[in-house]
Each structure stands twice: as C-alpha cells, then as structure tokens.
Amino acid sequence: MFRKSGWVGVLMVALIGAGCATTPPYNPFKVSQEQIYAKTKTIAMTPISVPEGIPDPQSVKAKFESLLEAKLEEAGFLIVPSNEFAQIWKRMTEQVGGYFDPISGKRDESKFKTVQEYTYREVSTKFKADALLHSYIRVFKVNWSRPVARWHGTSESIMPTGQQVLEIFAGVNRRGTVPALSLTVSLQDTNEVNLYLNSGGIQLLSKLSGDNFVSVPPHELFIDEERNRNAVNIALDPLIKKPSSTEQPK
C-alpha cells in the first residue's frame, strides 16, 4: 500500500477503480466497430476533465485535446472543437438559470437533462456531428510488483534503478498499489448511446524511495510528451484501426 503525501492527497479523492488487466481481454466497443464507422463521420469534442489539484489545468487540457483532435483527424474524422460544445452548454445553462440548487448545492437532474439534450441536439444540427467524444484525466489505484507498475496499456518503474538492483540481489519481492494517471475517452452518439470506452495510462503519481512512497513533484507531471502521446494512442487505437470491411470516413 502507499502512504499519501503532498498534493497527491487531494487527487486521491478521484480514485475510481483499478487499472490492471483482466481476463478475458477488455473490449472497448459497446457496439460493433463497423457500426461506428458506418454512422460516424463528424465527432464533436467536449471539454476534457482533469482531477482537482492538477497544476496548470488549462495547459494540460489544451495539450491533450490537441493530441486527441490530431489523432481523430488523422483517421479521417471531421472534428468540432470543444469550445463550440462549451459555448452552447453555457448558453443553455444560463437560460435554465443553472442546474445546481443554490441552497443544497445538489444538481437538479431535470434541468441538467434539459441542458444536455439541448446541447447534444444543437451540436448535431449546427455542426452535423454524429457523435461526441468525452475525455477525462483520472486517478486510478494500480497494482505494482518488483519493480514495475502496469496499467491501461503502459508501465513505469516504481523505484530508482539503484534500488531495483539492490532489491533484486537481496531477493526482495514487494508488491502493492499506487496512484497513477490515465486518460479515459468515451464516445457517444447524439442520442447518448454509448459506443466506445477506453483508457490509456499516463504516469505514476507516487514512487518508492527506500521504504516510503514520495509524491511525484507537480512540475514533473505531463512533461514527458512521449508518454502523453502514448496515452492518447492507447486510448484511441482500437477505434482508429479501421475494420477491413469498412471504408474510411469521408
């Protein structure tokens, strides 16, 4: 198990499950891939969500939205930027007077549903969007064993190289769980039917130093562009890889 320290304590509130592989292999498709390609030409992006406590969240959002857009465009999809969705959502939210109760702070599900349905419909009508891509950077509790954590298609060393060597020679074989960041993408059609859901691991939030876990410094988060790109590739590759019987979207 890990010892929470520093700003990771804030992020741990967002823990939502384990990132280890299961058997049989995870299938990200909620409908057939052929059906998605037959009906989806234009995808509207919704603003990416990041956990509370992430430093410089706007920069992180821009970085990953750009990577997601580029990947989808490379596959031949037309993209509606997230700011278009956000503007419609904001306008409709203001029209209904907001959907959070000012006293209790609870969400008014009826008003929220009204805003959601209107926004989806408007995006479909105005931009001819066939589907929406929701994206989230989330904190997961993932498994590790000497000396590597593996989750959502990626892996990362849990300890410095020198410590790895010492533990191997000493016959130490520790294991446990550790917080890590992953990118999750969810594709829905404009009727809110789920089409695709997948995650790509980004990086660890804590690492072993001796017998204790130490938080990864905030300035070291999201600076490895290869890891960022790899997370997007892992999350989207099953969707992007076109079925042989389906033509590329125009």
Q: Which two tokens stand for residue 152?
A: 């959502």
pTM, entire model:
0.85
In tens digits, the chain (250 residues) has pLDDT values of: 333 334 444 444 444 444 444 468 999 999 999 999 999 999 999 999 999 999 999 999 999 999 999 999 999 999 999 999 999 999 999 999 999 998 999 999 999 999 999 999 999 999 999 999 999 999 999 999 978 999 999 999 998 777 766 776 666 778 899 999 999 999 999 999 999 999 999 999 999 888 899 999 999 999 999 999 999 999 999 999 877 654 444 4
> What residues does each domain of the chain span?
8-80+130-235
* Residues 6 or more apart whose Cβ sits within 8 Å of residue 138: 14, 16, 51, 181, 182, 184
Please tell me the distance from the alpha carbon of residue 235 to that of residue 65, in angstroms, as a whole number.
13
Phi, psi of 181 (to 5 degrees): -95, 140
Q: Which two tokens stand for residue 88?
A: 């419609």
